[in-house]
């Protein structure tokens, strides 16, 4: 019954959260679970159930019954609620929607809760399952899905490449357990790194087109929040959608913040590896950035065969690269101009 009431995005988020909580040994202790929160992000939530309900009403010669679980399945908040229900977490519970930066903003807000002393730990991240026929057609109508390389689909997403034509829609979830150092030390929990800063702002210019000023400002806000200089950053996980407009704009914004260093600074796009999972993408990329810092390894940008002259960066083409990374940025920029940038720093006990 529980599985029937959960949409695919909720199932993805729940599985990821259970694995994260287990790895962190988060609940292997006595204590008030009201001191633990859940903050998840999603862009379209239960869109599959919307599509199924529409089909039941209009796709056949006669109406068919709508699934009794349709309402709880379509709720964006179902993913955070499912996590809390399964783990018995009684603290603040939110699902946040800022389009494709939802997961990043969720992680950033979780960090702020802990900083303020409101909570000792937060399960946070993003989940998305947007691959439906109607949504694919809608994204294609915008002209942002890759239309080339249909015979070799693994090469379709080509961030920063001269011949890029758009992104590939994806599904998935990523969940992190953020907590105070005191909370982690009390039970000898594994520490993978430190989240040091968060920058969130709005371009306030367009529903669909990013603004270079707002994108650059979000990176500056994150660095200021972390009390770090641009010179301390050894890697950037870019938003890097592979669209004609976004990639060069992000590169220009990076240059505005990092100056001449941006030419040699490793900047890669994880969307070339696992596609664009909308509201979950920023959480997936946050996790990739954290692991890059922990392992001193910049992940690659796949399919960047011919770097666009307008993208004056080092995209780490094809192969990951061992490089000293004391701190890194994770960039996420969304429709509506909602930006989220996270700073991760190497943990040194």
Exposure letters 185-221 (e unless 16+ CB within 10 A, then b): eeeebeebbbbbbbbbbebeeeeeebbbebbbbbbbb
Q: How far is CA 142 from the centre of its chain?
A: 21
Q: Say whether 255 is catalytic.
A: no
For 161-180, what is the HEC assignment? ECCCCCECECCEEEEEEEEC
The rounded distance, in Å, linking the Cα atoms of 306 and 285 is 24
Q: Say whether 276 is catalytic.
A: yes
- Phi and psi at 169, nearest 5°, equal -70, 140
- C-alpha triplet 278, 282, 287: angle, nearest 5°: 135
Q: Which residue among the candidates 124, 255, 276, 304 is catalytic per the annotation?
A: 276
The rounded distance, in Å, linking the Cα atoms of 284 and 21 is 16
Whether the CA torsion 307, 311, 313, 318 is positive or negative: it is negative
Coil, helix or strand for 200? Answer: strand
The rounded distance, in Å, linking the Cα atoms of 308 and 311 is 5
- From the CB of residue 224, how many other CB atoms can be counted at a distance below 10 Å? 13
Taking Cα atoms as reference points, which of 12, 203, 234 lies closest to residue 101? Answer: 203
The rounded distance, in Å, linking the Cα atoms of 72 and 124 is 21
Q: Which residue among the candidates 124, 239, 304, 311 is catalytic per the annotation?
A: 239
The rounded distance, in Å, linking the Cα atoms of 53 and 81 is 22
The rounded distance, in Å, linking the Cα atoms of 183 and 112 is 15
The rounded distance, in Å, linking the Cα atoms of 217 and 332 is 13
Active-site residue set: 100, 239, 276
């Amino acid at each position: 019954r529980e599985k029937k009431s959960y949409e695919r995005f909720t199932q993805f988020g729940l599985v990821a959260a259970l694995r994260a909580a287990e790895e962190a040994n988060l609940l292997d202790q006595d204590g008030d679970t009201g001191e633990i929160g859940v903050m998840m992000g999603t862009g379209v939530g239960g869109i599959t159930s919307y599509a199924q309900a529409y089909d039941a009403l209009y796709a056949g010669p006669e109406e068919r019954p709508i699934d009794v679980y349709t309402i709880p399945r379509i709720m964006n908040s179902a993913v955070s609620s499912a996590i809390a229900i399964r783990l018995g977490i009684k603290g603040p519970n939110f699902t946040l929607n800022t389009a494709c930066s939802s997961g990043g903003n969720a992680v950033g807000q979780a960090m702020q809760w802990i900083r303020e002393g409101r909570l000792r730990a937060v399960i946070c991240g993003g989940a998305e399952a947007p691959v439906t026929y109607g949504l694919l057609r809608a994204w294609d109508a915008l002209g942002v899905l890759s239309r080339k390389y249909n015979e070799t689909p693994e090469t379709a997403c080509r961030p920063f490449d001269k011949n890029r034509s758009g992104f590939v829609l994806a599904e998935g979830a990523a969940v992190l357990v953020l907590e105070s150092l005191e909370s982690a030390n009390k039970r000898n929990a594994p520490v993978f790194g430190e989240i040091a800063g968060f920058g969130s702002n709005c371009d306030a210019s367009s529903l669909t087109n990013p603004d270079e000023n707002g994108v650059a400002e979000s990176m500056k806000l994150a660095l200021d929040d972390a009390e770090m200089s641009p010179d301390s950053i050894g890697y950037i996980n870019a938003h890097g959608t592979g669209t004609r407009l976004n990639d060069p704009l992000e590169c220009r914004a990076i240059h505005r913040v990092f100056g001449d260093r941006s030419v040699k600074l490793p900047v890669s796009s994880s969307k070339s590896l696992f596609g664009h999972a909308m509201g979950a993408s920023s959480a997936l990329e946050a996790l990739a950035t954290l692991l890059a810092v922990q392992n001193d390894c910049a992940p690659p940008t796949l399919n960047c065969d011919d770097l666009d002259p307008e993208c004056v960066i080092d995209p780490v083409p094809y192969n990951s690269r061992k490089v000293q990374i004391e701190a890194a940025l994770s960039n996420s920029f969304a429709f509506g101009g909602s930006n989220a940038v996270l700073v991760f720093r190497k943990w040194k006990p």
